[in-house]
Structure 1
Amino acid sequence: MTGSRVKAVMFIFLNIMRLLSMSHGALHLLQSTLFENCKFDKIFQLGDSYSDTGNLLIENPLDISGRLPYGITYNKSTGRHSDGLLMIDYIASAANLPLLNPYENRSANFTNGINFAVMGATTIPVQTLAMKNIFGASTNNSLDVQVRWMSRSLSNYYNSQADCRDKLKNSLFFMGGIGANDFLFAFSGGKTIQEVKNFLVPEIVQTIMNATREIIKLGARKIVIPGNIPLGCLPAYLTDFPANSSFDQNHCLKEYNEFSVYYNLQLRIGIVKLQLENPSVTIVYGNLYLAFERLFSRAGFDPNSLLKACCGSGGKYNFGLGTFCGSPGVAACTNPNEYISWDGLHLTQQAYMYMAHYLIATLPSLLRCSPT
């Protein structure tokens, strides 16, 4: 190895060691600084309950996200299905932007972007899922509806397609995550993992790619398409589907996690193909699976509660679908920051924060942001 190569390797090694030795606060500050280099002036979010900042609550004022204990760590309920903030909130803050207002709040300020995500939203339209004997959606605002909302919103702000593209050149678009509800409803209806792989995964991937093509036409130039988390680690899955799977090293359902890996691979293949179609657009995969897996090694989470819901109704995983968090008599834990899962399906603010930090650290280089 030449002297210059040795110096280069040592430089990389020393920088890695420096990062590892930094405090959590200092490391987060560095990550935020890197993300600020992207110079995003707007963020647009599509997706489901992992990103919804209040759309479903506006649709349905009686939704559980509108009352405590939802939002308890944030000191008020906001329509977020968590005890506090979501990943998109931390990402917006890291970009030095205000938190995104939900699209359904028509009187809100949308200067710095719009959140179109809706809790319970599916990728495939509800009517199409019904034709496949898949039911359970709490909203009809599937991904295609959210894309139409976006198109309508942008046409109200910009005079022409050229004007729209120019105004969106510094915008970041999150195409989900979405798809988890399609899968949950299919599994809950008795579909096997193999059946879902065969007849649902290809359609979901194609639907996401087609929706991404539509937002590219609208002017999107920086797009993140997140994958799915390890579904087999959710208390809801651990409670409802243990007979269909064995357990992995984290005591999650092995076959359902392998399914998540399979789906994420198909999604990444779709992204590669879409990127080749659109060389002037940056389309990247958001690795929520890895971001979630890293939670198991994070200090601060109670090792005895890694797979339990903070807010729930008992049982091994503190989850019961008949008596969901927010129902009368269902209590929340006193220390949500020690839990990964908030209510069995959604995560705690602490978990979302750590996952957001992972994305904030990894996305700038993928999105080709430069420190200018």
Structure 2
Amino acid sequence: MASFHPVSPLLWLTLISSFLLFLQHHPSNANSLITCHFEKIYTFGNSLTDTGNLIREKPVGAATGYARLPYGETFFKHATGRCSDGRLMIDFIANASGLPFLNPYLKKDAKFRHGVNFAVAGATALPENVLTKLNITNTLTNSSLQVQLDWMSKHLNSASKIKGDCSEKQKTTLFIVGGIGGNDYNFAFQQGRTIPEVQLLVPELVAATKSGVRRVIMSYGAVRVVVPGVLPTGCNPIHLTFFQTNDSSAYDKRGCLKEVNSLVSYHNKKLQEAIQELKREYPDVVIVYSDLERAFLWIFDNAEHLGFDGDSKQKACCGIGGDYNFNYTNLCSSKVPVCPNPNQFISWDGLHLTEAAYKRMAGWLIDDMLPKLQCHA
């Protein structure tokens, strides 16, 4: 007869903790955005959301590495313009809503029955003329949030001529406006601004997002709007490399840059304050803050339990050189090594995340946002 070996209390605690972590933020079919009955999603933003607009912009966008493998290799097996090895959060959100992937606005002859993706990788919250006055140059695109919103006007005007439904309240439409602003900070850093100097941009960036939300409500009839915050980029290989120092006090307990993440937290705090103001201004509109900061840190802090390699949390999967597998002069491309299993990495190319990380973040965000959207069946 086999002998019985009692399980130690510590092991039981570990097993229970792992099980609870597995249950946490894993949307079931019953807890899906399908219950909201969204027929369309309109989204604006940057590389976190772009499904192919930048690579259709000439001459710069079409020449970027995002138009070629290894981008897209994990899921699509070819490059789609997504800044990852596969799908983005917006793809998982669309899927959870029972909708197909959103076509990029600049894709010729695309079908927009279920919404439009206006986001452009590299896009800024501030328009080009404002950045110029601040001596900040966007080297990738001029398609700022304001430009994307102008595209929306053109799209709706065109659609209304065909269907005559432009004046209808968008009761079954989800608008996602935000997650933008990170590039404004990044370009300022690259052009020699210090973190305290960059922090002075926060009020203008938050105001730009707030203005964008107001526009989709007033001009486009939005009744449900999700406003994403900014990711804690102090944990990303690009900033860890750029600001690398021997001063241990510059890093937090995660090994992330304190000042950069403090800037992000300050931005997100001010953005949430702006959202509260908008809620008072438009009490009949559901406006939900999407906490990308908390979602990312949840993944980062529980990386090993979620299937990521704990030793590679701050390293790029596609990259080469240095402590973080990232080099400004040798960015992710077909000539740069790619890790054997991107699903074990959080960072794809040092700037953007892997499909695996985006999938986990999307699950966390859907669980967090669903009750707040007030659209239960």
Query: Could you state the TM-score of these two structures normalised by the residue count of structure 1?
Result: 0.89
Q: Which residue of 1 aligns with 2:92?
A: 90
Q: CA deviation at 1:20?
A: 5.7
Relative to structure 1, the CA distance from residue 102 to residue 32 in structure 2 (aligned partners, 3 Å threshold; closer, same or farther) is farther
Note the 1:260-339 alignment, pairs <5 A: 260-296=264-300, 297-298=302-303, 299=305, 300-326=307-333, 329-339=335-345
Note the 1:144-293 alignment, pairs <5 A: 144-158=146-160, 163-166=165-168, 168-198=170-200, 200-217=201-218, 218-243=220-245, 246-293=250-297
In 2: Cα distance, 1:203 partner to 1:117 partner: 20
Of stretches 359-368 and 303-312 in structure 1, the one that deviates more from structure 2 is 359-368
For the pair 1:359 / 2:359, whether they are aligned, the reply is: no
Q: CA deviation at 1:34?
A: 3.2
Moved over 2 A (4+): 19-24, 26-29, 31-34, 60-63, 158-167, 242-245
| SS of structure 2 residue aligned to 1:164 | coil
For the pair 1:124 / 2:126, whether they are aligned, the reply is: yes
Counterpart among 42, 61, 68 of residue 44 in structure 1:
42
In 2: Cα distance, 1:22 partner to 1:37 partner: 24
Relative to structure 1, the CA distance from residue 209 to residue 31 in structure 2 (aligned partners, 3 Å threshold; closer, same or farther) is farther
Contact 2:26–2:364 (CA under 8 A) maintained in structure 1: no
| SS of structure 1 residue aligned to 2:28 | helix
Q: CA deviation at 1:173?
A: 0.7
| SS of structure 2 residue aligned to 1:252 | coil
Q: Deviations over 1:268-316 (max 9, x none)?
A: 0111101111111111110000000011203211111000000112110
Contact 2:169–2:222 (CA under 8 A) maintained in structure 1: no
Contact 1:165–1:220 (CA under 8 A) maintained in structure 2: no
| SS of structure 2 residue aligned to 1:284 | strand
Relative to structure 1, the CA distance from residue 130 to residue 226 in structure 2 (aligned partners, 3 Å threshold; closer, same or farther) is same
Contact 1:235–1:307 (CA under 8 A) maintained in structure 2: yes
Q: Deviations over 1:105-138 (max 9, x none)?
A: 1301100000000010011012321221112430
Of stretches 231-240 and 293-302 in structure 1, the one that deviates more from structure 2 is 293-302
Q: Which amino acid aligns with 2:316?
A: A
For the pair 1:70 / 2:76, whether they are aligned, the reply is: no
Contact 2:45–2:178 (CA under 8 A) maintained in structure 1: yes
For the pair 1:341 / 2:347, whether they are aligned, the reply is: yes
Contact 1:31–1:357 (CA under 8 A) maintained in structure 2: no
Q: Deviations over 1:85-123 (max 9, x none)?
A: 000000000000000000001301100000000010011
Q: Which amino acid aligns with 1:196?
A: V
Q: Which amino acid aligns with 2:255?
A: H
In 1: Cα distance, 2:328 partner to 2:203 partner: 29
Contact 1:122–1:137 (CA under 8 A) maintained in structure 2: no
Unaligned runs of 5+ in 2: 1-15
Of stretches 232-241 and 120-129 in structure 1, the one that deviates more from structure 2 is 120-129
| SS of structure 2 residue aligned to 1:304 | helix
In 2: Cα distance, 1:208 partner to 1:102 partner: 21
In 2: Cα distance, 1:159 partner to 1:283 partner: 29
Aligned residues: 352
Of stretches 161-170 and 255-264 in structure 1, the one that deviates more from structure 2 is 161-170
Relative to structure 1, the CA distance from residue 330 to residue 212 in structure 2 (aligned partners, 3 Å threshold; closer, same or farther) is same
Contact 2:25–2:367 (CA under 8 A) maintained in structure 1: no
User: What is the alpha-carbon root mean square deviation over aligned residues?
Assistant: 2.3
Q: CA deviation at 1:22?
A: 8.9
In 2: Cα distance, 1:324 partner to 1:155 partner: 40
Of stretches 232-241 and 295-304 in structure 1, the one that deviates more from structure 2 is 295-304
In 2: Cα distance, 1:31 partner to 1:99 partner: 19
Of stretches 89-98 and 54-63 in structure 1, the one that deviates more from structure 2 is 54-63
Q: Deviations over 1:31-66 (max 9, x none)?
A: 664321111110011000110000011113332112
Contact 1:121–1:137 (CA under 8 A) maintained in structure 2: no
Q: Structure 1 or 2: larger helix share?
A: 1
Contact 1:126–1:137 (CA under 8 A) maintained in structure 2: no
Q: CA deviation at 1:23?
A: 5.6
Relative to structure 1, the CA distance from residue 222 to residue 332 in structure 2 (aligned partners, 3 Å threshold; closer, same or farther) is same
Q: CA deviation at 1:158?
A: 2.2
In 1: Cα distance, 2:132 partner to 2:264 partner: 23
Q: Which amino acid aligns with 2:285?
A: V
| SS of structure 2 residue aligned to 1:158 | helix
Q: Which amino acid aligns with 1:213?
A: R
Q: Which residue of 2 aligns with 1:10?
A: none
